[in-house]
Amino acid sequence: MDITTEVRPGANRYVSGEGILQDLPSYFVGFKKISIITGEKSSEAFRKYYRQELHYPTYRYDGTSSHENAVALAEEIEQAELIVAIGAGRVIDTAKMVAEELNAELLVIPTLISNCAPFTPIVAVYRPDRTFKAMGFMTRAPFLTIVDSKFLLATPKNYFVAGVGDTLAKWYEIEGITRRLPEDEKSAYVSLGIACAKAIQELLLKDAIPAIEDLQNRKASPAFSRVSDAIIGLAGETGGFAASFGRSAGAHAIHDGLSYLESTHEQLHGKKVAYGILVQLAHTKDIEEIITLRPFYEAAGLPMKLKELNVLDTSKEALTPVIDHAASANETFNMVDPAITFDDIYQAIQTVESL
């Protein structure tokens, strides 16, 4: 059984709307043993919005999204029917691994909009030192994902912009993977994944800039809701439908490589992925597409140079940890180009840096 090749669209239930967290107790009906996993900032943001007390055991993750922390939390919890994740990507991914360890259902309450972690059965696993380790595939998707657009207006702009960058990659990665795949070899679900990713790209290019403005004005607009659902839900559907054809490719390989530079550890996932889009496009000689994207990147605040990710030395020696990982046989840049080499990626980075 290869779970990575299965069609896994996402959460069992997805509820999105303004103020819907006020109905939260009704979603706990039927569960007796409930435990909450959250983080310090996530917990504070949730308490400011949701004034009622949740009288369930609450546990803090250690900030790493590591399997080691998930196992430790599972041992501390011992037994649960439902794990409630309150937080952003790393909290949620930790809670997914805990739920897997305990064979429990998972209810996800994202505290900000930055990626599709609240929706998918996939986790980004890091080592305790916060370097990227692997992608993990859980046997269950979340039982329920609750997206309260009024609550999520508290999302810091930087995270929302990072979510836009991470989600925009869905189109460029699936297009890069499937461009050489003959039409008659595409399954129905791969075709659906491609269509989903294209719809995401068009939606973001149209709505993301107004949505960022609405976020800054704390205005729950239709554009803000559409972009929120695209980042959290539709992004997960792309890989869910198309499986390995619709998940990580060159952009995420660059992100994973950048995690080996300590100077990037404070940089958000989606911003590193957004830079990775440009590197992938440079490698595939789609320079015109990079030029087309530049006004959008500038307006949204997405990085176009490594210095915007706190990487000041762009020499081959300094970037070797990044490129070694991104070009490795077990990374996903080879989904775009099976013959990808260290020098290919270095040249693509230099192309982006020189534009």
pTM given for the model? 0.89
Residue 257 marked ligand-binding = no
Domains of the chain (ranges; CATH) run 13-153 (3.40.50.1970), 157-354 (1.20.1090.10)
Q: What is the pLDDT of residue 8?
A: 86
Residue 167 marked ligand-binding = no
Give the tokens for residue 247: 């998940």
Helix axes 342-354, 316-326, angle to 10 degrees: 120
Residue 91 marked ligand-binding = yes
Q: What is the pLDDT of residue 105?
A: 98
Q: What is the pLDDT of residue 114?
A: 87
- Spacing of C-alpha 310 from chain mean position: 21
Residue 94 marked ligand-binding = no
Q: What is the pLDDT of residue 3?
A: 67
Q: What is the pLDDT of residue 246?
A: 86
Whole-number Cα distances in Å, 35 to 80, 99, 238, 315: 7, 10, 30, 48
Look at the alpha carbons of 53, 45, 270, 320 in this order and tell me if their dihedral is positive or negative: negative
Could you tell me if 117 and 270 are in contact, meaning their C-beta atoms sit under 8 angstroms apart? no
| Distance in angstroms (rounded) separating the CA atoms of residues 245 and 113 | 24
Question: Of 11, 24, 33, 77, whose CA–CA distance to 52 is shortest?
Answer: 24
Whole-number Cα distances in Å, 349 to 32, 103, 202, 226, 323: 52, 43, 26, 32, 9
pLDDT tens, N- to C-terminus, the chain (355 residues)? 676 678 888 899 999 999 999 999 999 999 999 999 999 999 999 999 998 999 999 999 999 999 999 999 999 999 999 999 999 999 999 999 999 999 999 999 999 998 899 999 999 899 999 888 888 999 999 999 999 999 999 999 999 999 999 999 999 999 999 998 899 999 999 999 999 999 999 999 999 999 999 999 999 899 999 999 999 999 999 988 988 888 889 999 999 999 999 999 889 889 999 999 999 999 999 999 999 999 999 999 999 999 999 999 999 999 999 999 999 998 999 999 999 999 999 999 999 999 9
Give the tokens for residue 223: 């554009």
Residue 292 marked ligand-binding = no
Residue 113 marked ligand-binding = yes
Residue 320 marked ligand-binding = no
Residue 67 marked ligand-binding = no
Residue 114 marked ligand-binding = yes
